Amino acid sequence: MKRLLYIFLLSIVSTSMLAQNYYINPLTGKNTNNGKTPETAYKSLDKSKKIKFKAGDKLLLAAGINHWGELKLHDLHGTESKPIIISTYQASEKANDKITSSHAIINAKGFYNGISIINSKYIHVSNFHVTAPDGFIYDWVKKQKNNKTKNMRIGVKLEASKKGTFSGIKLDNIIVNNVYFNKVGLTRSIKETHSANGTESYSWGIRAFAKNGGKFDNLVIQNSSISNVSHTGIKLNGKKGSMENVTLNNNKVFDVGGPGMQMSGALNVHVYGNIIKNPGSTKDSRNWGRGSGMWTWGSSHVLVEYNKFLNANGPADSAGFHIDFNCDNIIIQYNISANNAGGFIEILGNNYNNAYRYNVSINDGYRIKKKGVTAQEGKTFWFSGFVGKNKKRHGPYNSYIYNNTIYVKKEILSKIAVTRVSKGALIANNIFHIVGDSKAVKGDQYSPETNGISLISDVNFTNNIFLKASNWPESILIQDSAPIFGDVQFINAGGERLTDYIPLNKQLVENKGIDIPLILNDKKGLFKGLMVKHGILGNPIIGKPDMGAIEISRAL
Q: pLDDT band at residue 554, thresholds of 50, 70 and 90?
A: low
Residue type, 19: A
Distance, CA of 374 to CA of 441 (rounded, Å): 15
Q: pLDDT band at residue 136, thresholds of 50, 70 and 90?
A: confident
Looking at the predicted structure, is the pLDDT value of residue 92 above 90? no
Residue-wise pLDDT tens digits, 411-457: 999 999 999 999 999 999 999 999 999 999 988 776 666 667 778 99
Cα 123 off chain centre by: 22
- Look at residue 493 in the predicted model and tell me its pLDDT: 97
Distance, CA of 40 to CA of 450 (rounded, Å): 71
Distance, CA of 152 to CA of 113 (rounded, Å): 9
Q: pLDDT band at residue 15, thresholds of 50, 70 and 90?
A: very low
Lowest mean pLDDT among 66-75, 140-149, 161-170, 508-517: 140-149
Q: Where are the domains of the chain?
A: 63-86+97-291, 324-556
DSSP state of 48: G
Tell me the C-alpha to C-alpha distance, in Å, between residue 508 and each of 247, 440, 487: 39, 27, 8
Residue type, 161: S
Three-state SS annotation for 401-453: EECCEEEECCCCCEEEEECCCCEEEEEECCEEEECCCEEECCCCECECCCCCC
Distance, CA of 320 to CA of 324 (rounded, Å): 13
- Look at residue 368 in the predicted model and tell me its pLDDT: 96
- Look at residue 556 in the predicted model and tell me its pLDDT: 45
Distance, CA of 336 to CA of 536 (rounded, Å): 9
Residue-wise pLDDT tens digits, 144-180: 545 544 689 999 999 999 999 999 999 999 999 999 9
Q: pLDDT band at residue 100, thresholds of 50, 70 and 90?
A: low
- Burial category of 144 from C-beta neighbours within 10 Å (exposed 0-12, middle 13-18, buried 19 and up): exposed
